[in-house]
Chains A and B, each alone.
Chain A
Amino acid sequence: MMKKNLLYILLFSLAFGSCKKDPTEPLIGNTDERLSATLAEYQAQLVSAQFGWKGYLLTDNKTPATFLFNFNDKNRITMTADYRTTSAESSYRLKALQKPTLLFDSYSTLHLIADPTSSVFGGTTAAGYYSDFEFAFLSSSTDTIKLEGTFNKSKLILIRSKSAAESSAIFTVLNNVAATASKIRTYFKRTTIGGIECEVKWDPAAQILAFSYLDNGSLKTVTSNYYVSGSFVTLYEPLVIGTTTVKQISDVVYDAAALAVNGNINGSAIQIKEAITPLKLDVGAAQRWYNQMFANSNGTWVSDKAFHANGLDDFCNFKNVAGYQTLWYAGPTVFGGTSEGLIAFVNNALGAPYALSRNPFGINSGIARFTLGTNAGTFTGTTAIAQAMTAARAILYGGATVGSAQDWYLIPTSDTGKNYDMVRVSDAQAWISWRPR
């Protein structure tokens, strides 16, 4: 009986005690109200840009894209892109997901690079270019909004356009920078940033800038994709070179007298100049390249774009050869015996004429020497393949007669050791990219 009373006392005290009200009010206001207000603010900000927003997208597989977005207050948006300049209308809305999120919620130009069906716009089956169309807000100021894709983690930067002229020039400034970059005739490019001499790699098509510099005798490389907004080349990832942090290069312009590209980093003028030697030659690279050839499929290196020379891509005009696929430098697997040489792959077959190198292959102080051993097939004549191969032979061997020789640097371009650029030693104005078949 006593026990039971005790139980009741316990229960009653529990009943009264449990009813303590918590008078605490959230100091910064109601969460839902704040979220609603934030979404409304973002929407108002997007709509407020009279000349639209310049959009710079970098997908998860590092595919860059440039857009011009015009948002209206009816959840509609018109856009153009560097890869499709025809204006198209679609819809957007702002939604509170895990973060405030901008949804491009009906199919648009932006979705082309996210489309998982590769027959639509290329890319990989099931993933496209690993792009997004749902973007969470990371930060925003009046004129700049930074977003991140919620699915593939693409980066999207929106910059307010200040004038109609700025909006209409959005794609031309990108092309102008690419044109400026390609005016530098040499493969190797040098600049000095904060007193440190740097080798510059500049790929305008992929919108990549890389700087390599010597750090206690070893070569250190920092790389970032970039976008072009107005007169600024802005890096997606700031790069640190010594004590200098490079976020953007402004006023990029070609200086014809100096044969260099001028620019400005953090208020200091820089000049990207031509160079004919690498900053630090990888002396083992030529031998590794040669050995790797035998390990590759068909014992060959292949190049898609063939030779760049004298400022021209595909200098030899392989594009005129009907059915051209790749240019090969192949070994005995293709030619038999101990032969190796240069041959074109056309319409799924090896084409004539072709040139064989003299054996053994010469490598001296990390520099490869190609010596012409045999001419096979008819190089004279007007067929596209004869003309292209004649030009390619002249570049690779430095001549058309047996015994002609040309020296080349081999520059590794991937961590796997399976991709190389080959650069002419004499002037660094001719080069070719090799990959395994």
Chain B
Amino acid sequence: MKKKLLLSIVALATIFLAGCSKKDDLSANLVGLGGDTWAKGPIDEWISTNYTTPYNIEVKYKWDRSELGEIYKNVVPVKEELVVPIMDIIKKTWIDPYVAVKGANFMKTYTQKQFYLAGSPSYNSNGTITLGTAEAGRKIVLLDLNTFNPANKPAVKQILHTMHHEFGHILNQNIAVTPDYQRITPSDYTATWFNIFRGAYSSTAALDKILYENDFWGKGFVTPYSRSNKDDDFVETLSTLLEGGAANFDNIINNLFIYDGLYIKRNGKGVYEQNTDARSKLLRKKAIVISYMKDSWGIDLTDLQNRTQAAIEAQSPTADFNNLLGPGKTYGTISINPQKLTGLSAKFLTTYNTANTTLQAGNPQTNKGYYIDNISLIFTAANKVTLRVNFMDPTAALGVGFNGDFDYNINNVNGTITMTYASLQPTTVTYGNARIIETYIPTLLAYFNNQQFNIRWVDDIIPQSKSILGGLVKTTDPTSYLFGTL
């Protein structure tokens, strides 16, 4: 019986298969099959040479609405003349560093296979704009490229952040990160991460900034988006380390404190209360990213980071600090708060701490144990700098404190300045404050008076710190220097 059944089935199958051998014409020339065609130009050749041939990546820059995630938006194509500059920067700052560390085959194997470029952003109904999307490690859509300018470093970094973010997903999908990563901040992932934006917390700008930053950095996340889920958290940490650099990450950590309203909590001597919880969470995440790259892919993250940062700097160079500093220029003030910085020279710190201790011990009746909160150098004119010592009264409520201003005349020759304490100091309030404390901080004033400094970036001292930290280094003693945030 069973055999008969089998026979019948075989017979039936044969008839079904053989009986239906219709000969369809399979040679039809379907319109559009194999993609769009057009007469190739120099841009197409460049893409072929730099992307398609070496890495099997297609770069679509001609308009094709179907490539957009949201096809019902008014979006315009990219300007042709921007295609090569944009893709060149992406190649040099994303592909090339990986190739240098892991070899070309690694990138051939793992990169996404398509770029789509568009000129304008995609406007959303809630007033936000979309700057880029990625589809499952297959395709990356970059929008708003018509405003691209290689000299605009933040814009360049934004594109690279997207690239490193999406490529991080691909790596993570091939070899998953160890689950201890998601156990660091398990309860703070949220689908409404996009509600974290400036202006969402307070109508007071300063307070809004504190609460905004506290909602991700203060919880141990490197960006608002990293609060979205464990995978995006992981790749945001990776891409921030690569695109932002070492100093950027450390600067985030160094600024994590516990706040009481607008001000950092502190003890009677002005020692800040650190947000040790967030600091340790971010450092643990960084450590897992480093070990993941090493163990899973054999990539030295520091090596990759150095190469990425060097490539960004080469593509979008930063001008000398001296050229950017001064009245009406990019930077006007260097803020030095030793509690928010690491790596200040021992010689400067000794001077600063001595001044602080002496001030605290000074006249207890009038000065009530004043302590120095921070100092800043304000470049108000081409030939003048004001040393502003911000000091606090520990017996009063926490506030902005007092500013004591000391004017120095400077003579700037190509970034080498000599500071001379001005013989005539103004008599307004801040200079009046200066008279109150000057007898207690002679070491600090002497550190600057009649001394020669180089105004320069300190990326040799704190690597990858250009545009974050700027400093003054004594010309006669390179081991004596200070720097601060800009």
Contacts and interface: CB of A to CB of B under 8 A. Distances in A.
B74 A128 contact: yes
Given A105-B62, A107-B146, 10 more contacts: A12-B15, A19-B22, A93-B38, A95-B32, A104-B63, A106-B63, A107-B78, A111-B76, A117-B120, A134-B63
Interface string B102-143: 000000000000000001110100000000000000000000
Contact of B76 (A18, A32, A133): A133
A126 B76 CA distance: 11
Interface residues of B, number: 34
B80 interface: yes
B39 A74 contact: yes
Main DSSP-derived SS at the B contact region: loop
A32 B34 CA distance: 14
B8 interface: yes
B186 interface: no
Interface of B: 8, 12, 15-16, 19-20, 22, 28-32, 36, 38-39, 41, 61-65, 73-80, 119-121, 123, 146
Nearest to B14: A15
B47 to A, nearest CB: 14
25 contacts: A8-B8, A15-B16, A19-B22, A30-B28, A32-B31, A36-B29, A39-B31, A73-B39, A74-B39, A90-B80, A91-B38, A93-B38, A96-B32, A105-B38, A105-B63, A106-B61, A107-B119, A114-B74, A115-B119, A115-B120, A116-B121, A120-B120, A125-B123, A126-B73, A126-B74
Contacts of A39: 31
Contacts of A103: 62-63
Contacts, number: 101
Contact of A134 (B39, B65, B123): B65
A35 B29 CA distance: 10
A33 interface: yes
A31 to B, nearest CB: 9
A134 B36 CA distance: 15
A89 B20 CA distance: 55
B127 to A, nearest CB: 9
Contacts of B64: 105
A75 interface: yes
B361 to A, nearest CB: 57
A107 B63 CA distance: 9
A99 to B, nearest CB: 12
Nearest to B124: A126
A114 B63 CA distance: 14
A130 B74 CA distance: 8
Contacts of A116: 73-76, 120-121, 123
A126 B123 contact: yes
A15 B123 contact: no
A91 B15 CA distance: 55
Contacts of A93: 36, 38, 62
Given A19-B19, A106-B63, A114 B76 contact: yes
Closest 6 CB pairs of A and B: A126-B123, A74-B39, A105-B63, A75-B38, A116-B74, A105-B62
A126 to B, nearest CB: 4
A120 B76 CA distance: 12
B19 A15 contact: yes
Given A30-B28, A32-B28, A12 B123 contact: no
A11 interface: yes
**By CB atoms of chain B within 10 A, which of A32, A39, A127, A133 has the most?**
A32
A8 B121 CA distance: 64
Interface residues of A, number: 43
A128 B120 CA distance: 11
A120 B8 CA distance: 74
Interface string A50-94: 000000000000000000000001111000000000000011010
Contacts of A18: 19-20
Given A104-B63, A107-B78, A126-B74, A19 B20 contact: yes
A12 B74 contact: no
A36 B31 contact: yes
Contacts of A335: none
Nearest to A106: B80
A95 B29 CA distance: 15
Given A125-B123, A126-B123, A16 B77 contact: no
Contacts of B80: 90-91, 106-107
Contacts of A76: 39, 41
Interface centre among A91, A93, A104, A127 (most CB of B within 10 A): A91
B74 A151 contact: yes
A91 B62 contact: yes
Contacts of B61: 106
Nearest to B37: A93
A114 B32 CA distance: 26
A296 B128 CA distance: 32
Contacts of B62: 91, 93, 103, 105-106
B22 A95 contact: no
A21 interface: yes
User: Which of A15, A32, A75 gathers the greatest number of chain B CB atoms within 10 Å?
Assistant: A15
A125 B64 CA distance: 22
Nearest to B25: A30
Contacts of A130: 74
Contacts of B77: 105-107, 111, 133
A117 B129 CA distance: 11
B228 to A, nearest CB: 25
A76 B80 CA distance: 12
A32 B38 contact: no
Given A32-B30, A93-B62, A105-B63, A15 B74 contact: no
A76 B31 CA distance: 21
A105 B44 CA distance: 14
Contacts of A111: 76-77, 119
Nearest to B81: A107
Contacts of B16: 15
Contacts of A11: 12
A77 to B, nearest CB: 12
A74 B39 CA distance: 5
Contacts of B119: 107, 111, 115
Contacts of A96: 31-32
Contacts of B30: 32
Nearest to B146: A107
A32 B30 CA distance: 5
A45 to B, nearest CB: 17
B227 to A, nearest CB: 28
Contact of B39 (A16, A75, A104, A152): A75
